[in-house]
Amino acid sequence: MNDKKMLISTVLIVLLTVTNAYAERIKDITTLAGVRDNPLIGYGLVVGLDGTGDKTTQAPFTAQSFRSMLNKLGVAIPEGSNFQLKNVAAVTIHGNLPAFAKPGQKMDITVASIANSKSLRGGSLLMAPLKGVDGNIYAIAQGELVVGGFGTEGRDGSKVTINIPSSGRIPNGAIVERAVSNAFTSSDHLIFNLNRADFTTARRIAENINEMLGPDIARAMDASSVRVTAPMDMDQRVSYMSLLENITVNPGEAPARVVINSRTGTIVVGKHVTVAASAVTHGSLTVTVTESNEVSQPNAFGEGQTVVVPETEEVTVTQENNKMFELRGSTTLDEIVRAVNEVGAAPGDLMAILEALKQAGALEADLIVI
């Protein structure tokens, strides 16, 4: 026990003395394999709506669910009864069960209409089970909805809607009924998966862990995973994990990339992007056609009809004479931006220039179009 305390104290002192403005904690750039959230889904009824519920003629399953609920509560409904449930809506319920969640703890849930309910504002979700992908019940949901959207409409069909009133949240709206096991307690090692696969980062993580905790403790498996030997005792493993996730690492720099969003015109140029010696010019050809509408009217006693006839008045062609600009060899990011700004190229023009540079072999970077 004394050796264990001494080891923890020594590592903490080393962690406190190591300061690097560019370093990242392991917990910020990796995730622990097997430790994750688990999605849950359910179906239920929201009641108490102000006339904005489902139209049962178009959503018969709402009335079926309502009838089934009343039968379970001991209320007998005559066969053939026709419901007009203006204040009830059928909804889906979903949420993520956090890792290490224990029975009795609470989790947030999202509720959304699945029929034609116009708004869930003011509604209450009745008790509904939440199931996992294996079909088992892991939580029970119930509570008052918090709806951020709002909508209203007039008799003439005009309406105003702010955000989405047909969905809402219930903070702490579900109680966990069953825990989900994970790999944290079932193995003699831990595996850290990098958020961004990189061989340099994986190597540095393993080296920093071995430097602080001893040789052969960590081993980089590939570009996205690092395997670390861990004690089996749970008390020691929790303390051990606390030390590991706070070790700082200098992540490897991302590869040279230029990302172009063709829909929004957004262009992001990475730090290590360079351009070989090249000369670029970019001009545009504009054709303008001016038309007017003339009215053709027959004689007073003619049998023809009055029609509108388009007539072309003028056709002009304009071509911009943009100057050619030079990009020197090993041009840096700052020089690329300065050259483009001097020419005054728009985002659409810059996309064409970058694509042409890539085709010419002058752009030394990956060109990614999304």
Give yes or no: residues 57 and 172 share one domain.
yes
> End of a domain among 226, 249, 272?
249
pLDDT value, residue 58: 79
Give yes or no: residues 169 and 190 share one domain.
no
Structure tokens at 361: 């072999």
> End of a domain among 229, 249, 269?
249
Judged by DSSP in three states, 293 sits in strand
User: Can you give the residue range of the structural domain that contains 197?
Assistant: 2-36+183-249
Closest CA to 279 of 209, 339, 198: 339
> End of a domain among 149, 176, 203?
176
Give yes or no: residues 92 and 214 share one domain.
no
Give yes or no: residues 311 and 188 share one domain.
no
Give yes or no: residues 88 and 122 share one domain.
yes
360: left (phi over 0), alpha (psi -120 to 50) or beta: alpha
Q: Which amino acid belongs to residue 121?
A: R
The residues facing 90 across adjacent strands are 45
How far apart are alpha carbons 321 and 66 in whole angstroms? 72
Least confident interval from 80-89, 158-167, 189-198, 231-240 = 158-167
Least confident interval from 44-58, 124-138, 234-248, 250-264 = 250-264
Please check whether residue 11 is in contact with residue 212, taking contact to mean a CB–CB distance below 8 angstroms: yes
Res. 300 pLDDT band, cuts 50 70 90: low
Give yes or no: residues 210 and 335 share one domain.
no
**CATH number of the structural domain spanning residue 231:** 3.90.1150
Least confident interval from 132-136, 220-224, 266-270, 302-306 = 302-306
pLDDT tens, position by position, 39-54: 999 999 999 998 888 8
Judged by DSSP in three states, 307 sits in strand
Give yes or no: residues 280 and 325 share one domain.
yes
pLDDT value, residue 206: 95
Give yes or no: residues 326 and 349 share one domain.
yes
Give yes or no: residues 217 and 266 share one domain.
no
Give yes or no: residues 307 and 225 share one domain.
no
How far apart are alpha carbons 146 and 120 in whole angstroms? 9
Give yes or no: residues 31 and 42 share one domain.
no
Structure tokens at 255: 């590869």
pLDDT tens, position by position, 31-40: 999 888 999 9
pLDDT value, residue 10: 38
Distance from chain centroid for Cα 112: 19
Give yes or no: residues 112 and 59 share one domain.
yes
What total of structural domains would you count in the chain? 3
Res. 177 pLDDT band, cuts 50 70 90: very high
pLDDT value at 228 more than 90: yes
How far apart are alpha carbons 335 and 276 in whole angstroms? 12
DSSP string, 193-244: EESS--HHHHHHHHHHHHHHH-TTSEEE-SSSEEEEE--SSHHHHHHHHHHH
96: Cβ contacts below 8 Å, ≥ 6 apart: 37, 38, 39, 40, 107
Res. 5 pLDDT band, cuts 50 70 90: very low
Q: In 10 A of CB 38, how many CB atoms? A: 16
